[in-house]
C-alpha cells in the first residue's frame, strides 16, 4: 500500500529504559543496526501497527511498555533506487513513518527476538539516546534525527543533542 507520492505507511519504535537508553537491534545476518519499524496494514491504525511490530520484532506485549509520545506528523525517507525491488521501481519512493517513544516497564528478560518465525533482529543492546543518528544507514539518518529530536521532549534528564556531541568530541 503506497500513498500518491510513492511512500509506504510505516511505524518506527524508540524503546527506552529508565536510563533513557534506547533499544538498538542488529538486523538478522547483517552488520547493520536499527530501531524496530514496520509497515501499517490497510485498515490498521498507527498505534495498532506499532503494537503488532513491537510483538513481532521485539516480543513485547502492550503491558510491557508505556507510550510516552509520538511524532505529530509523518517523517519520510527515500530508499536509494538500487535497494528498491525491480517490480516496485517507478512507483515506490520510500517510507513515511509515525514514530512512537516507549518506556519499557516490563523486564529486559521479556524481550524475545524470536517471537515470530521470521525474526528481524538477532541481537540487541541498550544504546545512548542520540548515538543511532550517526550509526544508522545514511538514507535513514534524517528521519532518525527528526524523530529523536521531536520525541526527546518527553524524557526527563536527557542530555541535549549538542551536549551529546560535545561530550563525545564528535563534529556533526
Q: Judge contact between 34 and 84, C-beta under 8 A.
A: no
Q: Judge contact between 36 and 15, C-beta under 8 A.
A: yes
CA dihedral of residues 150, 102, 20, 105 (deg, nearest 10): 160
pLDDT score at 26: 97
Backbone angles phi, psi at 75, to 5 degrees: -110, 135
pLDDT score at 83: 73
pTM of the model: 0.93
pLDDT score at 88: 66
* Mean pLDDT in order along the chain per 10 residues (172 residues): 92 98 96 96 97 97 98 95 72 93 98 94 97 95 98 96 80 48
84 Cβ partners below 8 Å, 6+ apart?
Answer: 92
pLDDT score at 91: 81
pLDDT score at 84: 76
Amino acid at each position: 500500500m503506497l500513498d500518491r507520492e510513492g511512500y509506504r505507511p510505516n511505524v518506527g519504535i524508540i524503546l527506552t529504559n529508565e536510563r533513557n537508553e534506547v533499544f538498538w537491534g542488529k538486523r538478522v545476518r547483517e552488520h547493520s543496526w536499527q530501531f524496530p519499524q514496520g509497515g501499517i496494514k490497510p485498515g490498521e491504525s498507527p498505534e495498532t501497527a506499532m503494537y503488532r511490530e513491537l510483538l513481532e520484532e521485539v516480543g513485547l506485549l502492550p503491558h510491557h511498555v508505556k507510550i510516552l509520545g509520538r511524532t505529530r506528523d509523518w517523517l519520510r525517507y527515500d530508499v536509494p533506487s538500487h535497494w528498491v525491488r525491480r517490480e516496485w521501481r517507478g512507483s515506490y519512493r520510500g517510507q513515511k513513518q509515525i514514530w512512537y517513544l516507549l518506556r519499557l516497564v516490563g523486564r529486559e528478560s521479556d524481550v524475545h527476538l524470536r517471537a515470530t518465525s521470521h525474526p528481524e533482529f538477532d541481537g540487541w543492546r541498550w544504546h545512548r539516546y542520540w548515538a543511532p543518528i550517526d550509526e544508522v544507514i545514511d538514507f535513514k539518518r534524517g528521519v532518525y534525527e527528526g524523530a529523536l529530536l521531536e520525541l526527546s521532549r518527553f524524557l526527563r534528564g536527557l542530555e541535549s543533542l549538542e551536549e551529546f556531541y560535545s561530550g563525545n568530541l564528535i563534529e556533526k
